[in-house]
Amino acid sequence: MDEHAKRFAIHDVTPAQAAQLAEFGARTFYESFADDNTADDMRAHLESAWSPEKQLAELRNPDIETFVIADDAGRWLGFAQLRANKVSEGVPALGSIELWRFYVDKPFHGKGIAGALMDGAKDRARRRGATSLWLGVWERNERAKAFYARHGFSRVGRQVFVVGSDPQTDHVMLCRLA
């Protein structure tokens, strides 16, 4: 982590912040994937996954843990979600937790924020008793796959992730937690 990143902290997202999470999540997803999807598919996905009501339900779900990395002024720079009680191809049924969502706001790419957020996600997964952390990453997202590999993840399977009407292939990656 670079010196700049040391001024940031990880905080839980509260139900009162559901609308802020919906906006931030939709924006970071859009920035990451809009160029590779049709406008209709992107709109359908954002409407189904990122409404304030949907985020409020997820924030109240005990299987989902949502947290942000924020600067000392409280500005959100990235967020992640852990999701328990779900596995995919190649993932051990016992002791695994999913890193379901992991996004850093584009202006903060390459500044150590993602590494700090990943460290926080691994710490939180361990606190929940996980011995492995897994995720799905779009097969065409080379930057993300390289980042995850640098952080101890390796490919163990594949799964389908639907954006609107477009079924896309995700690589399933697993990291053993020490």
Q: What would the pLDDT profile of 107-121 be if each residue is shown by its tens digit?
A: 999 999 999 999 999
- What is the overall mean pLDDT for the chain? 94
Range of the domain at 170: 3-176
| Overall domain count for the chain | 1
pLDDT at 2: 44
Lowest mean pLDDT among 32-36, 41-45, 83-87, 102-106: 32-36
**pLDDT tens profile 95-150:** 999 999 999 999 999 999 999 999 999 999 999 999 999 999 999 999 999 999 99
Q: DSSP letter string over the chain? A: --GGGGG-EEEEPPGGGHHHHHHHHHHHHHHHHGGGS-HHHHHHHHHHH--HHHHHHHHH-TTEEEEEEE-TT--EEEEEEEE-S---TT--SSSEEEEEEEEE-GGGTTTTHHHHHHHHHHHHHHHTT-SEEEEEEETT-HHHHHHHHHTT-EEEEEEEEEETTEEEEEEEEEEE--
CATH code where residue 140 lies? 3.40.630.30
